[in-house]
Structure 1
Amino acid sequence: MKASETATTKATSTPENDVTTLKKETSYHIANTPELAQLPELPNGCEAVAATMLLNWAGLWVTKQQVADALPKGEMPYVNDDGAFIGSNPEKVFVGDPYDAGYGIYHAPMAETLNQLLPERIVDMSGSTFEQLLKTIQSGTPVMVWATEQMDAPFLELEWQDEEDQLVEWYQPEHALLLTGWDDAYAYMNDPMTGKEEAYDIAEFRSVWESMGSQAITVK
């Protein structure tokens, strides 16, 4: 089923020649997507909640706590006996604890976890273009995306080394959401922080999504 589409024409005139033109405005929206909040149970579990909304939409009844429990987890950054600042890598595990102190998890280990819960239906479309992201919504399928809270510009908060001596760069305020629609001005997302659908400036969303690595997971 495709997303519902609405198209309107809006008359505009140019002051120079007073010629009226018609501009088509199109919007796509996926109805009846679950709306879940991460608070109070999962203060750092936005990824688990966004993923739960995607799984519930796909027909798998699972709770946000079950998804959070299924995630692979690793240690928060700390200073070891040699004075080195080390910790786990969000490209492999959830850094910390979604129920307590934690940072988060990126697309690859999240997709692997979701594939265990919903085998052969998970699509990791990270690295896709923004146009491909919007076309997925247009086809009627929501997408879990990595962005920031309120679409604030991401900033580098911490750097550390993982167990394999790889540099980890953590950008804040990292946030995962479920993309459910878009139009000429806004991207619509079920936001785990508020527990409801929010509208964010689509250009700002694109900039933040691409800055956070163009990470996205959907279902087929």
Structure 2
Amino acid sequence: MADEWSPVINPFNDKDQVITGKAANQTSVEAFVDEQKLSLKTYNADTGYFEFYPSSLLKAGKQVKFIFIKDDEQQIIYQKVQAAPAPKKPVLNPISNKSTFLTGTAEPNSTIYITINKKVKSMQLKNSKSFKMDFDDKRPLKAGTKVSVYVIDKAGRKSGTVTVTVADKIPPAEPKMELVTDKSFSIKGITEARATVFIYKGKKRLAKIKTGTSGKFTYRMPLQKANSSFDIYAIDAAGNKSKTKKVKVKAKNRPTKKVVSAPVVKQFPELARGCEVTSLAMLLGDAGVKVSKMTLASKVKKDPTKYKVKNGKKYFGNPYYGFVGDIYTFKKPGLGVYHGPIASLGSKYLPNRIVDLTGSSFDKVKDYVAAGHPVWVVTTSWFRYVPSKYWTTWYTPHGKIRITYKEHSVLITGYDKKYVYFNDPMDGKKNKKKPLKQFIEGWKQFGNQAISYY
């Protein structure tokens, strides 16, 4: 037969749905598999283009017999069915914990196998590459669930497996909060486990707290004014944000009498002038921090300025800056220390929980005691007003200052309408009482110095 009309048969495999080729024009074309004739669906006599639709007859390794007849001449060609490559991995679209079904694409006419929580389901793809499967009862899967999919074609060839993790798209519930009053030292609530809680007061962020498995969280804070408000929300590990909970501070009546029980420590005989650090030891002890007065005495900031008199002027240290003089003996000059260095020292043992109330009214002191926390103060050793004749002027490296040796520090533990109660390091008495009005007059002479904790 002349070469010029030798047919061309395009390569084919056991997945092909059509066999194509080209013969000379006006050629008769037939194809057989095991004597079964294939269906000739398309033939163009002018161009010689042909298409056979073999349906399911093509099996890898089978021979296809092609017969071409032109002008009473016949040509027979055998071509082997090739094995197609394994199917490509299917494509599984993203799934979230809001989804009630999954979708994707895979090789047409293959069988899809879907594994969820060790349970396997299968489905057939017929003449389409898209698939969809509803979850049981159309219930979304839990975030973090693994969904795996692979396909097997008609010849039993298996694709690779694709796995998708169910994404968390559901935001945490709005945090549930406990009541916050103007006598509360904390904000407490509960939200989704392992979420991050953000607490704002106005535009200022106060806290960023990671919750544990319980979802509970606590933020310690100083007492807040009634009607103050906070904005609180949670963001889960997937970045979903809850609704913002607005918390308003409720007013709570202060009781007319309140006395708390705080540890009592006596400064003598070890500390001649250590009333301030001894009272701090009592305050820290009430907060659960055990530290001795002697340790505090060694660590409190010191003003190293030496005492001298020159041209009738007295020069010495400044108690607002550090402890002035010798803390251990009256044989050397000294005085004491004020709120700043004491608050700084306390913060080393109770980080972010010391509150310096200096400058506030005595009502603020009462508020802290009413809420259950004692208050460190500087007052007069007479527990009342000290006349000006007992005051003198010192010239310090930090400026001129008026001082009196009638200075003392105690830990306020209670109050009522007539009296203030305190632990006195001088004699070691617990809940000692003095007239409230007189005590406040002496306390004001030192600038309303007061420290507590939250």
User: What is the TM-score of this pair, normalised by structure 1?
Assistant: 0.82
Structure whose CA Rg is larger: 2
Using the alignment, how far apart are the partners of 1:153 and 1:73 within structure 2?
28
Q: 1:51 to 1:76 in 2, by over 3 A?
A: farther
Q: Which amino acid aligns with 1:66?
A: T
How far did residue 183 of structure 1 move?
Answer: 0.7
1:146 to 378, 381, 400: 378
How far did residue 86 of structure 1 move?
Answer: 1.9
Name stretches of at least 5 consecutive residues in structure 1 with no aligned partner. Answer: 3-24
Equivalent residues in 2 for 1:79-90, closer than 5 Å:
79=309, 85-90=314-319
Deviation string, structure 1 residues 125-147 (Cα, Å, up to 9, x no partner): 10111111111111111000111
Q: 1:111 to 1:51 in 2, by over 3 A?
A: same
Using the alignment, how far apart are the partners of 1:178 and 1:205 within structure 2?
13
Map of 2:291 onto structure 1? 62
How far did residue 98 of structure 1 move?
Answer: 1.3
Using the alignment, how far apart are the partners of 2:312 and 2:384 within structure 1?
33
2:343 to 111, 114, 123: 111
How far did residue 172 of structure 1 move?
Answer: 3.1
How far did residue 72 of structure 1 move?
Answer: 1.2
Map of 1:184 onto structure 2? 417
Map of 2:354 onto structure 1? 122
1:194 to 413, 423, 427: 427
Deviation string, structure 1 residues 27-53 (Cα, Å, up to 9, x no partner): 10112x111111111111100100000
Using the alignment, how far apart are the partners of 1:157 and 1:210 within structure 2?
14
Equivalent residues in 2 for 1:161-180, closer than 5 Å:
161-164=395-398, 166-180=399-413
Map of 2:367 onto structure 1? 135
Deviation string, structure 1 residues 161-183 (Cα, Å, up to 9, x no partner): 1124x102112310000000011
Residue pair 2:284, 2:290 contacting (<8 A) in 1 also: yes
Q: Which amino acid aligns with 1:53?
A: M
Q: Percent of counterpart pairs with the same letter?
A: 36
Equivalent residues in 2 for 1:69-108, closer than 5 Å:
69-74=298-303, 75-79=305-309, 85-100=314-329, 101=332, 102-108=334-340
Q: 1:202 to 1:83 in 2, by over 3 A?
A: closer
Residue pair 1:126, 1:217 contacting (<8 A) in 2 also: yes
How far did residue 84 of structure 1 move?
Answer: 5.5
Residue pair 1:73, 1:97 contacting (<8 A) in 2 also: no
Higher relative contact order (CA 8 A, sep 6+): 1
Using the alignment, how far apart are the partners of 2:347 and 2:443 within structure 1?
23
How far did residue 153 of structure 1 move?
Answer: 2.4
Q: 1:77 to 1:158 in 2, by over 3 A?
A: farther
Greater share of residues in helix = 1
Residue pair 2:376, 2:450 contacting (<8 A) in 1 also: yes
Residue pair 2:384, 2:443 contacting (<8 A) in 1 also: no
Q: Which amino acid aligns with 2:308?
A: Y
2:382 aligns to what SS in structure 1? helix
2:256 aligns to what SS in structure 1? strand
Q: Which amino acid aligns with 1:170?
A: I
Deviation string, structure 1 residues 82-126 (Cα, Å, up to 9, x no partner): 886322111101001211242011111111111122211111010
Using the alignment, how far apart are the partners of 1:63 and 1:29 within structure 2?
24
Using the alignment, how far apart are the partners of 2:440 and 2:312 within structure 1?
39
Name stretches of at least 5 consecutive residues in structure 2 with no aligned partner. Answer: 1-182, 184-254
1:65 aligns to what SS in structure 2? helix
2:279 aligns to what SS in structure 1? helix
Deviation string, structure 1 residues 180-210 (Cα, Å, up to 9, x no partner): 0011111000001110121010111111111
Residue pair 2:384, 2:440 contacting (<8 A) in 1 also: no
Using the alignment, how far apart are the partners of 1:157 and 1:206 within structure 2?
18
Whether 2:432 is the aligned partner of 1:203: answer: no
How far did residue 157 of structure 1 move?
Answer: 3.3
Residue pair 2:335, 2:405 contacting (<8 A) in 1 also: no
Map of 2:446 onto structure 1? 212
Using the alignment, how far apart are the partners of 1:40 and 1:201 within structure 2?
28
Residue pair 1:77, 1:160 contacting (<8 A) in 2 also: no
- Runs of 4+ in structure 1 off by over 6 angstroms are none
Using the alignment, how far apart are the partners of 2:328 and 2:369 within structure 1?
30
Q: Which amino acid aligns with 1:86?
A: Y
Deviation string, structure 1 residues 51-77 (Cα, Å, up to 9, x no partner): 000011111110000111111112342
Map of 1:9 onto structure 2? none
2:369 aligns to what SS in structure 1? helix
